[in-house]
Amino acid sequence: MIATSFVFACQDGISRHLAAEYNTFMVVMIRYWFFAAFVVALAARHRDGIRGTARTSQPMLQIGRGLLLALEICVAVVGFTLIGLVESHAIFASYPLMITALAGPLLGERVGWRRWSAVLAGFVGMLIILQPGRGAFDPLALIPVASAALFALYGLATRYASRQDSTATSFFWTGVVGAAVMTVVGLPSWEPMTPPDWAWMMVLCTTGVLGHWLLIKCYELAEASVVQPFAFFHQVFAALVGMLIFAEALRANVVLGAAIILMAGVFALWRAARASDVE
């Protein structure tokens, strides 16, 4: 999971570079082409084949999931270019807390007072980062908030879909639907790329495939609840990329707010794992 987080952080840095030079839709579209090829190749090797892997009794839900993730990636990449990796990921780290808050009303899951306390603490951490009411408040900081909310909805939709569909089926629909919708919106925005940036694009696509492969292997070897806290290394690695490669500043309020969000998120995941063990 730590290796996965490092690869995804590198992917975010490359996305930030390319989206600053070219249309975001085009960058995400090409990235999705490779992602779709990867999921189709996995499905072809699956014991049920492509047709069996794609079979689902809830196609509209699977399409909705794919659309949510594609939109979230576009919003996230825009946030990387406008406010940087450090602040974007500091706020994005709140998505597990958003999942916790929405799991009750949307999925009917029981959330105890301890996890609600973690959600409240995470909200305080987000306010510390955003600093609303002060002259330093930047409305652009709401972009990663939207990205986190979209990813939380995607996570909840994935959890709901897993009640009937396998992980392989959901993964297949995620890649294929995302590639289809991004092709529709991305092709009209096509721009010629320089050879060096085509090389970076190939690296971006490779890191995408590698990251998802590592994530799959991770979940094959350990339960998600055990390794999920280590996913927060993504925020740490992304912040390092932002500071070392793009010379982004690390403000004190961002450090404090991110620390509160990360601790609240880890606590909420720990409580969820304990509740699952009790059941």
Q: What is the pLDDT of residues 197-208, one digit of tens each?
A: 999 999 999 998
Q: Note the pLDDT of residue 200.
A: 96
Q: What is the pLDDT of residue 159?
A: 86
Question: How many angstroms separate the CA atoms of 181 and 184, rounded?
Answer: 5
94 and 126 Cβ atoms separated by less than 8 Å: yes
3-state secondary structure of 127: helix
- Is the Cβ–Cβ distance between 148 and 91 less than 8 Å? yes
Torsion of CA 187, 16, 8, 164, to 10 degrees: -40
Task: Using only the alpha carbons of the chain, give its radius of gyration.
Answer: 19
* HSE of 172, CA atoms in CB hemisphere, 13 A: 23
C-alpha 186/C-alpha 177 separation (Å) is: 14
At residue 198, the pLDDT reads 96
List the structure tokens of 242: 């932002």
- Whole-number pLDDT of residue 276: 60
Note the pLDDT of residue 216.
78
Structure tokens at 71: 């939109």
Global confidence as pTM: 0.89
Segments making up each domain of the chain, as ranges: 2-278
The confidence score (pLDDT) of residue 270 equals 79
Residues 6+ apart with CB under 8 A from 242: 13, 16, 84, 85, 86, 89, 248
**C-beta of residue 257 within 8 angstroms of C-beta of residue 31:** no
Sequence-separated (6 or more) residues with CB below 8 Å from residue 212? 35, 38, 171
Q: Which two tokens stand for residue 151?
A: 């990813």
pLDDT at 232: 85
Q: What number of other Cβ atoms are within 10 A of residue 249's Cβ?
A: 10
Low-confidence ranges of the chain (pLDDT < 50): 278-279
Q: Over 137-186, what HEC string results?
A: CCHHHHHHHHHHHHHHHHHHHHHHHCCCCCHHHHHHHHHHHHHHHHHHHH
By the 8 A CB rule, do 265 and 118 touch?
yes
The pLDDT of residue 251: 87
DSSP 8-state code for residue 78: H
Predicted confidence at residue 272, as pLDDT, reads 73
